[in-house]
Amino acid sequence: MAILSAVRSGRLSRINPVLLVCDRENAPVLEKAREAGLPTLHLTPKSFPSKDDYEKEILAHLREKKVEAIALAGYMRLVGPVLIGVFPDRIVNIHPSLLPAFPGLHAQRQALEYGVRVTGVTVHFVDLQMDHGPVILQKTVPVFPEDTEETLVERLLPVEHEAYVEALDGLSTGRLHLSGRRVLWSAD
């Protein structure tokens, strides 16, 4: 909802959210989006014969809404070639680590188990590999000796929100573009 709040406050004035897609029927974000007046779509992947069929159904709804780009938030599935083929370099994701370190689930736990002193968040373009596409931006957060997975998750969350809004602002205003695998930012 940080993205929607940034849109409503004018910080992301060039972004017009038109649909929230969720794969979990009782996810709290669905009700929050509905309360905010954002149309929602719940699709259960297991209801489809294949991942491609699932993504084709999502794609049909995205086309109907004339979606130009996708921002993933809490989407815990690998995006496949159906969506990436239609939205190349126009799908972004946020991950709670300084990629390429600690991809996948439980990144905060991985950071603590490894013993890092600094972790952070990464906003990146999505490709066919998990937590792999070109990095748009990263923000750091210290790891304290007394940290638990829960305290680190809690401290990272506002940084994730800030980073995602900053990255989406750069994309929507044309201040950043992709050159090969490098993301280039222009001055304000």
Q: Which residues pair with 119 in a beta bridge?
A: 141
Look at residue 70 and give its three-state secondary structure: strand
> In the chain, which ranges are E strands?
20-22, 40-42, 70-71, 91-95, 118-125, 135-142, 176-179, 182-185
* Spatial distance between the Cα atoms of 88 and 83, rounded to a whole number of angstroms: 8
Indicate which residues carry an active-site annotation: 95
**Taking a C-beta distance cutoff of 8 angstroms, is the pair 79, 112 a contact?**
no
What is the four-CA torsion angle of 107, 28, 171, 110, rounded to 10 degrees? 0
Q: Which residues contact 159 (CB under 8 A, 6 or more apart)?
A: 120, 121, 139, 141
